[in-house]
Amino acid sequence: MAEEIRLTLPDGAEKAVPAGTTARAVAESIGPRLAKAAVAAKLGAEIVDLDRPLERSGPLEILTESGPDALQVLRHSCAHLLAAAVRRLHPEAGIGFGPSIEDGFYYDFAVPRPFTPEDLERIESEMRTVAEAGDSFVREEVTREEARRRFAGDPLKLERLEEIPEGEPVTVYRCGAFEDLCRGPHLPALGRIRHFKLLNAAGAYWRGDERRQMLQRIYGTAWFSKQDLEAYVRRLEEARKRDHRLIGKALDLFSIQDDVGPGLVFWHPRGAMIQFQLRRFIEDTLLERGNSLVYTPHITREQLFLRSGHLPMYAENQFPPMAGGADEGEDVRYRVKPMNCPAHILVYAAQQRSYRDLPLRLSEVANVYRNERSGTLHGMLRVRGLTMDDGHIFLRPDQIEDEIFELLDIVELVMGKTFKLNYRLDLATRPDKKLGGDEMWEHAEQALEQALKRRGATYRMDAGGGAFYGPKIDIKFDDAIGREWQGATIQLDFQLPERFQLEYTGSDNRTHRPVMIHRAIYGTLERFVGFLIEHFAGAFPLWLAPEQVRVLPITDAQLGAARALHLRLRAAAIRSHLDERNETLNYRVRDGELMKVPYLAVVGGREAEAGTVAVRSRGVGSKQDVMTQEAFLAMLEESIRARALVP
Ligand SMILES: [Zn+2]
Ligand SMILES: [Zn+2]
């Protein structure tokens, strides 16, 4: 008699089965429908093959074609299918890794030349042929000796094999003629993979290490239904059209230049105007709410970051030190600052502080520099030169709740009321390894949660997800095509006030230690503007649009009247441009539309005479509204004042 194991099903029912029973058998005993829909199983936290004998007790969930775990199994299985097809067409191809990733999978191959789009087409059609044959995935535990023999022609696999710790089983999965060194799990058979597509191929270093060989990585996606696949491909197409690097170039917003270095953004006049308006908005908002603006040096003596603990801990993310002045001594070294916190702390510490001075809110839209690896940089979304809307609040522990409440109000004003973003708040609480007493943590976490509750905010708990020096609230939001973005963070900090021995005099006349909050609303202007470009697909709302109105005389005869209107708009602080080029009206209208100018103001003979203007709004086609100049101006001013999203 085999030993018995006890499985707890999601509905709470317990099932005792002999050890070695497969998840498939369990599914069949529950019902034929479930068995048919099953793709894999989850025993505790581990996802296992449907046909894998279960050897231990625990919660068991049969995974069907819904949910992220099942998709992950499908996608990884599809990576095997890809490798099988590549091996059939390119028998010489060496194989690397083939994991599932968000929305898809990839597989790395060692091949003599990069894959072309035609190669991908052939490989995809070969994948269909192999999938239709419908071979099962067969799992086999082998000895190391046996694995070495089977993968003798695959040095990358041999390297991986050597890393599997002694005592851990070495498993090989075979389907048809293709076998791979892999831990699994997989679908029961290739026939379950029907809705997939190869997306592109790109060079990738083996294990992401630029000193190792360059492999060719093929990316693909796989879904359980045709509709899901089609919807994803459409979303991808939409995302490609919205790529901020393409739109940034087409609209002349920014550039990144090789001569200067990767991750360093040049804000062109149009992009700079967007940044300027965002800064103005946040700085006005902060000033209305009792913040003070400060400006602090871009470089500081290195010892500041030793004291803050950023060195040597984060040394690899900082640019190397530079020498000080000739009279400062050889051991004095300077660093360009990677963050503003220590500088703001010095502003706090420059004065004797009393409990009446708190909260002290210091704000600075500041440039900091981080030595990110060049391979991780991406347009404006991941840069080395960061413009942060940074702020640090020094306060008494009893002020935490009200301060967080206020900060959440600013988040709501910017993300919710102004940009109408669907955003989420995650409350991350104390991790195992932490600084500061439980009492302090308890108080701070309760204050954060209380503030969230008072606001009526929906939030998720990220238990244990806080930094070791304090709990935090993370902000995430969705863009226009449903992608989730990581926004700014409101971070409590018990550590830095300690390290810098910050103090204030309490009402009891004794000295106390303040708490500190790091906060940003946009995060970095680079990333936020990159996000906005993709979110709006370059069609910025009027208040942010670099060029708000383009004035177009129909012929030279109206040039004088058009110029007068242009100057009138400019005097009212409207960003107007007069297009007096010697081109047809159609051509100039088309150009204004391509540049996503919110309003084209056409001045023909009739308008010149009557003091009116024919207004074409962005996104409504060729419809024109003839209105008085006063009405036009009033409409613009109202939209800007309200920071309206349309047009
Ligand atoms: Zn695998
Ligand atoms: Zn900070």
Tell me the pLDDT tens digit for each residue of 353-396.
Answer: 999 999 999 999 999 999 998 878 999 999 999 999 999 999 99
- Distance, CA of 557 to CA of 239 (rounded, Å): 44
Q: Please report, rounded to a whole number, the percentage of residues in the chain having pLDDT higher than 70.
A: 100
Q: 601 - beta bridge partners?
A: 551, 615
Encoded amino acid at 424, one letter: R
- In this prediction, residue 445 carries a pLDDT of 93
Ligand 2: centre distance to CA 491 (Å): 8
pLDDT grade for 542, boundaries at 50, 70 and 90: very high
Is 80 exceeded by the pLDDT of residue 339? yes
Ligand 1: centre distance to CA 71 (Å): 14
CB 38 within 8 A of CB 52: no
Is 70 exceeded by the pLDDT of residue 255? yes
Is 60 exceeded by the pLDDT of residue 1? no
| CB burial string 282-315: b at 16+ within 10 A, e below | bbebbeeeebeebebeeebbbebbeebebbeeee
Neighbours of ion ligand 2 (CB under 5 A): 341, 518
Helices (H), 267-337: 269-288, 303-308
Ligand 2: centre distance to CA 305 (Å): 13
Of the listed ligands, the closest to the CA of 518 is 2
- In this prediction, residue 210 carries a pLDDT of 81
Q: Look at residues 462, 466, 521 and name the one whose alpha carbon lies nearest to residue 495.
A: 466
Q: What are phi and psi of 61, to 5 degrees?
A: -125, 130
- In this prediction, residue 15 carries a pLDDT of 92
Ligand 2: centre distance to CA 632 (Å): 44
- 258 burial level (CB within 10 Å; 0-12, 13-18, 19+): exposed
pLDDT grade for 417, boundaries at 50, 70 and 90: very high
Q: By mean pLDDT, which of 118-127, 140-149, 313-322, 590-599 is the weakest? A: 313-322
Is 90 exceeded by the pLDDT of residue 641? yes
- The residue assigned the tokens 């979304």 is 381
- In this prediction, residue 2 carries a pLDDT of 67
- In this prediction, residue 376 carries a pLDDT of 85
Of the listed ligands, the closest to the CA of 75 is 1
- Distance, CA of 48 to CA of 40 (rounded, Å): 6
- In this prediction, residue 598 carries a pLDDT of 98
pLDDT grade for 314, boundaries at 50, 70 and 90: confident
Ligand 2: centre distance to CA 477 (Å): 22
Q: Residues 517-546: what's their mean pLDDT?
A: 97
Average pLDDT across the chain, whole number: 94
| Stated pTM of the model | 0.84
- pLDDT tens for 504-522 read 999 999 999 999 999 999 9
Ligand 1: centre distance to CA 235 (Å): 27
- In this prediction, residue 312 carries a pLDDT of 84
What count of other Cβ atoms lies within 10 Å of the Cβ of residue 106? 23
Task: Give Cα separations from 306 to 86, 159, 300, 335, 515 (angstroms).
Answer: 52, 39, 11, 11, 20
Looking at residue 493, the DSSP 8-state letter turns out to be E
Q: Residues 408-436: what's their mean pLDDT?
A: 93
